[in-house]
Structure 1
Amino acid sequence: MTTVFVSAGQIPIRWSTAMAKRRNLRAAPSTGRRQTRAENPTQENKFDEVHASDRRLLLIFFAFFVVIPAVSVCLYRFKFAPEADRSDPIEHGQKQGGRFKVDMNYQEILEENSEVSLNASRRNYAYPVLAYVTPWNSKGYDVAKKYTKKFTHISPVWYDLKSQGSGLVLDGRHNADTGWMSELRQNGDALVIPRIVLEAVPQELLKSKKLRSKAIDIIVTECMEMEFDGIVLESWSRWAAYGILHDPDMRNKALQFVKQLGDTLHSVSSAENNNRPLQLVYVIGPPVSEKPQMHDFGPQDLQRLSGAVDGFSLMTYDFSSPQNPGPNAPLKWIKFALQQLLGPPENAQNLAPKIYLGLNFYGNDFSISGGSSGGAIIGRDYLALLEKHRPKLQWEENSAEHFFLYVDDDGKRRAVFYPTLSSISARLEEALAWGTGVSIWEIGQGLDRFYDLL
Structure 2
Amino acid sequence: MRTTLFLLHAISCCWLVSATLSKTDAKKSHKAEAETSPAELSVLERGLVVSDPHWKDIVKEEKRHCAHIKRTFQGQVLGYVTPWNSHGYDIAKMFGPKLSSVSPVWLQLRRRGPETFDVTGLHDHDPGWVKAVRKSNKKIRMVPRLLFDGWSYQDYVSVLGSEDEIEELGSELVDVAKVIRCCCSALNPIRQCCFSNDSVALQTEGFDGFTLELWSQLGVRGSQGMFGREEFEQLAPVVDGFSLMTYDYSSGARPGPSSPLPWVRDCVLQLAPNTQWRQKILLGLNLYGLDFAGQGTEPILGGRYIELLREHRPKHLWDEYAGEHYFSYKRYWFNDT
TM-score w.r.t. the length of structure 1 is 0.55
Partner of 1:182: 131
Say if 2:257 is the partner of 1:306.
Answer: no
> How far apart, CA to CA, are the structure 2 residues paired with 1:305 and 1:114?
40
Say if 2:105 is the partner of 1:157.
Answer: yes
CA contact (8 A) 1:318 1:328 kept: yes
Partner of 2:158: 207
Partner of 1:221: 175
| Distance change (3 Å), C-alpha of 1:393 and 1:192 | same
> How far apart, CA to CA, are the structure 2 residues paired with 1:224 and 1:211?
20
Q: How does 1:279-318 map to 2 (within 5 A)?
A: 289=223, 293=224, 295-318=225-248
Of 86, 92, 100 in structure 2, the residue corresponding to residue 144 of structure 1 is: 92
Secondary structure at the residue paired with 1:180? Answer: helix
Shift of the alpha carbon at 1:117? Answer: 2.3
Equivalent residues, number: 264
CA contact (8 A) 1:395 1:402 kept: yes
Say if 2:268 is the partner of 1:338.
Answer: yes
Shift of the alpha carbon at 1:205? Answer: 4.3
> How far apart, CA to CA, are the structure 1 residues paired with 2:322 and 2:311?
26
CA contact (8 A) 1:322 1:372 kept: no
Q: How does 1:329-368 map to 2 (within 5 A)?
A: 329-343=259-273, 347-348=274-275, 350-367=276-293
Shift of the alpha carbon at 1:330? Answer: 1.1
Q: How does 1:2-41 map to 2 (within 5 A)?
A: none
* Matched AA of 1:317: Y
Secondary structure at the residue paired with 1:333? Answer: helix
CA contact (8 A) 1:317 1:359 kept: yes
Secondary structure at the residue paired with 1:402? Answer: strand
CA contact (8 A) 2:143 2:211 kept: yes
> How far apart, CA to CA, are the structure 2 residues paired with 1:411 and 1:391?
22
Q: Tell me whether 227-236 or 321-330 shows the greater mean CA deviation.
A: 321-330
Shift of the alpha carbon at 1:410? Answer: 1.5
Partner of 2:190: none
TM-score w.r.t. the length of structure 2 is 0.73
Partner of 2:188: none
Say if 2:331 is the partner of 1:405.
Answer: no
> How far apart, CA to CA, are the structure 2 residues paired with 1:116 and 1:161?
37
Say if 2:78 is the partner of 1:130.
Answer: yes
| Distance change (3 Å), C-alpha of 1:301 and 1:322 | closer
Shift of the alpha carbon at 1:116? Answer: 4.1
Unaligned 5+ runs, structure 2: 1-40, 181-205
* Matched AA of 1:232: T
> How far apart, CA to CA, are the structure 2 residues paired with 1:116 and 1:378?
17
* Matched AA of 1:195: R
> How far apart, CA to CA, are the structure 2 residues paired with 1:351 and 1:383?
39
Partner of 1:34: none
Unaligned 5+ runs, structure 1: 1-90, 247-287, 413-454
Of 213, 216, 229 in structure 2, the residue corresponding to residue 234 of structure 1 is: 213
CA contact (8 A) 1:205 1:211 kept: no
> How far apart, CA to CA, are the structure 2 residues paired with 1:313 and 1:358?
6
> How far apart, CA to CA, are the structure 1 residues paired with 2:329 and 2:308?
9
> How far apart, CA to CA, are the structure 1 residues paired with 2:75 and 2:109?
30
Partner of 1:103: 52
